[in-house]
Structure 1
Amino acid sequence: MRLFLLLLVLSFALQWVLPWWILAIVSFVLAFWLAKKGSGAFWAGFGAIFLGWLGLSLFFHLRNDGILTSRVATLFTLPQPWLLLLVTAVVGGLVGGLAALTGYFFRRAWVQK
């Protein structure tokens, strides 16, 4: 739970000032430091980044009345703009989850040497 909350807060805060891929670095480092199991690392990384990106996407969607989301959804031939928000959150969640899982496995490999 601590890993999930730290990932959610740190990645959400750092993405306002740094590039999007900072979430992978944050997920890797925090899972390296805190993760107890591989599945826990993946799901904490996936869930935290999924919720963070979904919240951020929803914020921008509501801020401009869905104009940009509708146009980009049309560009990707998605029938509804909310599907773009969901796809964005899933992609971010996968990046965060796989980075956290990598951090966990890296620590396991490091400790076994």
Structure 2
Amino acid sequence: MEETEKAVGDPQLPIQQRAPIGKSCELKNIQLSVERNGETLNQWRALNAELEKDVERVRQREELLTKYGMKKAEYMEAKEHEKDAKKKLDEAAKTFSDLKEPIEYDDLSFVHQMCSA
């Protein structure tokens, strides 16, 4: 058929007929490329959504760690106050115990002076 067209018609006719066929193939390739790129874009969006969740979890973790650090510092300070209070209590208990013990007198004359006064 091509030979008949060449003999009868314009010599450019076969080239002009092949041009739309080539453009059609090129268009199909572009469409496939757009579809693949669309799928890739969707995959990247899904991955990005997951990463955003991870970022949020890391942010929350850092916030909790900061709060934990502050609470730990408060705890350590309270523990130090408790230690100081216990030391003072032990000292006061020892002083009280020492004051509760009976007084020993070496000299009984002192006792007689106290009783006669």
- Please give the TM-score of this superposition, normalised by the length of structure 1: 0.31
Q: Kindly indicate which of the two structures has a greater share of residues assigned to helix.
A: 2
Structure number with greater CO (CA < 8 Å, separation at least 6) is 1
- Please give the TM-score of this superposition, normalised by the length of structure 2: 0.30
